[in-house]
Amino acid sequence: MRVSTYLESDLASKISREAERHGHQVVRKFRKRKELLSGLPASATDVLITGAGPDRLDFELLSLSDRSGISIVGLSAGPIDRRNAMNLGLNEVIDAVASWPEIQALLAPGEFGAVKDVHSDSSAAGGGPAQGRVIAVWGPAGAPGRTTVAISVAAELAAAGSTVALIDADTHSGSVAPCLGLLDEAPGLAAACRLAATDSLNAQELERISETYSSANGSFRVLTGLGRPRRWPELSAERVGKVIDACSAWVDFTIIDTGFSFEQDEEISSDLMVPRRNAATISSLESADAIIEVGAGDPVGLSRFLRAHVDLIEAFNAGSIVTVINKVRASAIGANPGGQVERTLQRFGGISRPHLIPFDHSALDAALISGRTLLDAAPRSQVRGSMSRLAAELGQSMLSRRAG
């Protein structure tokens, strides 16, 4: 393996000596940033060992390494360095005093012969490609409940015995991690995208960078979203597409919580390389075997939903589109709210048999306050019952389509 360093000189010498002692070649010891940015791509480096602090490690360096197919390991001298690396989505961080074998153990196993710490509890990860199904959960602006539905469907499918990954691809208001009480300091999806960019994302890496929502009812994996939405340029369409492909070879069901917008206004830009904020949502909707479209069951929510529905079916060609109207309640729409919703959808959208989910403030708050799913926090609530039926129907129809 060809190693370069971007470290203080004492540390650079120590690491270089150790790398060489373990049979690796040290190609460059970069000292100045300018020299690094201009020299790294052509340096024939496999792995760059850099300080993990903000003075050395930043988005520009990560992007350059991604584009050049170079792996990065960050050496941390303390919590500020570690936090900087985590904020950037770099998971390969280790204390500056680490030995060479410890550094090498962080690198991709297939590439450099190192063995990683992987969980062995996922049936899909160990065997051959699972060829899982992908469900994107989408809905218009106005917080109709995309995240709630995505989490609930993931939990119900996991409880039914499937392996499940939940991806937070909402580049405007990602919220899966806080809803599930998970850390979102190091966004799992951004880390997956970085690995996908160098074609090094596989089941083992997904095991490592995803977080686990653990439950006696059924655990599932989560690729957390961007805590800081300004990082959206990292989630390009191509990268997100590759992450979804890798997930479908990893688990039975990949559930994606998307943003509200798939507008492509940026397309009028003549620069095709310009990043697009809605790229992650568009890529998710394009890759999905099924799309769950979620609307809110009040007059404003329904009219927004009906307008957006037309755009959705024009733009995307998913195997199936399932309509969910959430937060259905008489106080917002009148007596017999389910009937009202059904008639409105039929009359103005030609949509029949929507899944109706009742409004249930206390069940949702019980889930939010405990950072648990509805299945765990309010298993006997009506809203959970509706989510369970939705997941069962969708799961069965997708599995039978695969069998047929």
Helical axes 337-349 vs 299-315, angle rounded to 10°:
40
What binding mask, one character per residue, do residues 85-124 give for ligand ATP by CB under 6 A, x or -? Answer: ----------------------------------------
- Interface with ligand ATP (CB under 6 A), residue from 143, 306, 313, 399: 143
Q: Which is nearer to Mg ion, 145 or 218 (CB)?
A: 145
Per CB under 6 A, which region of 64-72, 73-81, 197-205, 360-368 contacts ligand ATP? 360-368
Binding mask 323-342 for ligand ATP (x = CB under 6 A): ---xx---------------
Q: Least Å distance between CB 146 and ligand ATP?
A: 4
Q: How far is the CB of 147 from Mg ion (least distance, A)?
A: 3
According to the binding rule CB under 5 A, does residue 381 interact with Mg ion? no
Torsion 210-362-387-306 (CA) sign: negative
Q: Which stretch binds ligand ATP (CB under 6 A): 86-94, 138-146, 222-230, 348-356?
A: 138-146
Query: Phi-psi bin for 344: left (phi > 0), alpha (psi -120 to 50), beta?
Result: alpha
Question: Rg (Cα) of the chain, in Å, rounded?
Answer: 23
Q: Which is nearer to ligand ATP, 118 or 330 (CB)?
A: 330
Q: Does 359 sit near ligand ATP (CB under 6 A)?
A: yes
- Cα 355 to Cα 156: distance, rounded to the nearest angstrom: 16
Q: Which of residues 17-36 bind ligand ATP (CB under 6 A)?
A: none
- Rounded distance between C-alpha atoms, residue 180 and residue 361, angstroms: 17
Check residue 237 for interaction with ligand ATP (CB under 6 A). no
Q: How far is the CB of 152 from ligand ATP (least distance, A)?
A: 9
Q: Find the binder of ligand ATP among 87, 148, 281, 381 (CB under 6 A).
A: 148
Q: Residue 161 CB, nearest distance to ligand ATP (Å)?
A: 25
Q: Quote the least distance from Cβ 257 to Mg ion, whole Å.
A: 6
Give yes or no for residue 211 binding ligand ATP (CB under 6 A): no
- 170 forms part of the interface with ligand ATP (CB under 6 A): yes
Comparing C-alpha atoms, which of 78, 13, 8 is closest to residue 50? 8
Which segments of 238-289 are extended strands (E)? 253-258
**Contacting residues for 309 by C-beta, under 8 A, at least 6 apart:** 293, 295, 323, 349, 351
Strands 2-6 and 25-30: what pairing? Answer: parallel
Task: Say whether residue 65 binds ligand ATP (CB under 6 A).
Answer: no
Count of residues that interact with Mg ion, criterion CB under 5 A: 3
Selected from 50, 175, 340, 381, the binder of ligand ATP by CB under 6 A is: 175
Q: How far is the CB of 297 from ligand ATP (least distance, A)?
A: 9
Of the pair 7, 166, the CB lying nearest Mg ion is at 166
240 closest CA partner among 170, 169, 290, 292: 169
| Of the candidates 304, 280, 290, the residue with the CA atom closest to the CA atom of residue 390 | 290
Q: Could you tell me which residues are beta bridge partners of residue 272?
A: none
Nearer to ligand ATP, 51 or 227 (CB): 227
71: tokens are 């792996």
317 contact partners, CB below 8 Å, separation of at least 6? none
173 binds ligand ATP (CB under 6 A): yes
Instruction: Report d(CA 188, CA 257) in Å as an integer.
Output: 14
Q: Which of 65, 76, 104, 147 binds Mg ion (CB under 5 A)?
A: 147
5: nearest Cα among 35, 34, 26, 33: 26
* Dihedral in degrees, nearest 10, Cα atoms 281, 241, 93, 120: 110
As a whole number of angstroms, the distance between CA 262 and CA 136 comes to 13
At position 378, the amino acid (one-letter code) is A
Q: What angle do CA 358, 359, 365 make, to 5 degrees?
A: 130
Region binding Mg ion by CB under 5 A among candidate stretches 170-178, 206-214, 325-333, 365-373: 170-178
Partner that binds at residue 184, options Mg ion, ligand ATP, none, CB closer than 5 to 8 Å by kind = none
The nearest distance, CB 76 to ligand ATP, in angstroms, is: 33
Note whether 201 and 195 are within 8 A (CB).
yes
Q: Applying CB under 5 A, which residues contact Mg ion?
A: 146-147, 175
Q: Applying CB under 6 A, which residues contact ligand ATP?
A: 139, 143-148, 170, 173, 175, 260, 326-327, 357, 359-361, 364, 368, 383
